[in-house]
Amino acid sequence: MATNRTFTMIKPDAVEKGHIGGILGMIADAGFKIVSLKLTQLTVADAQAFYAVHSARPFYGELVEFMSRGPIVAAILEKENAVEEFRTLIGATNPADAAEGTIRKKYATSIGENAVHGSDSDENAAIESTFHFAVREQF
């Protein structure tokens, strides 16, 4: 996968509240091209595996329960310097610290239920994209 791609999820809280369109609109307005897109739901085992890096953290159980409780939107996005640009667009993990104009400032409700995921490195973007999309789905 090219290094100008990143992976995102619109998390269950934002899907439940009807924010798929609003968030995809912010992503498009920021100049990202959607190259893969699906509405899906993580099983508990999927969420445990996706967030395995956080398995020793005190919030892991809560995170897994939250991420598997309802549908999510998974997407691969393309833009120059995609990983860093997208982290800027989503804002800080805790919406209380998120800058004006960011997705989390607008749509997140708490540090745990923070509306969107964004990969933190090119390597993780590739791993996370492959977790959700077959090669033939990565356009």
Residues catalogued as catalytic: 117
CA angle (112, 72, 134) in 5-degree steps: 125
Q: Does residue 19 bind ligand DAT (CB under 6 A)?
A: no
Q: Which of Mg ion, ligand DAT, none has residue 17 at its interface (CB below 5 to 8 Å by kind)?
A: none
- DSSP-assigned states of every residue in 80-131: TTHHHHHHHHH--SSGGGPPTTSHHHHH--SSSS-SEEE-SSHHHHHHHHHH
Residue 55 DSSP SS3? coil
Distance CA 24, CA 112 (A): 21
Q: Which of 3, 88, 112, 138 touches ligand DAT by CB under 6 A?
A: 112
Q: List the interface residues with Mg ion, window 106-125 (CB under 5 A).
A: 120
Q: Which residue, 25 or 49, is less far from Mg ion as judged by CB?
A: 49
28-67 mask for Mg ion (x: CB under 5 A)? ----------------------------------------
The answer to whether residues 45 and 19 touch, using CB atoms and an 8 Å cutoff, is no
Binding site for ligand DAT (CB under 6 A): 54, 59, 63, 93, 111-112, 114, 117, 120
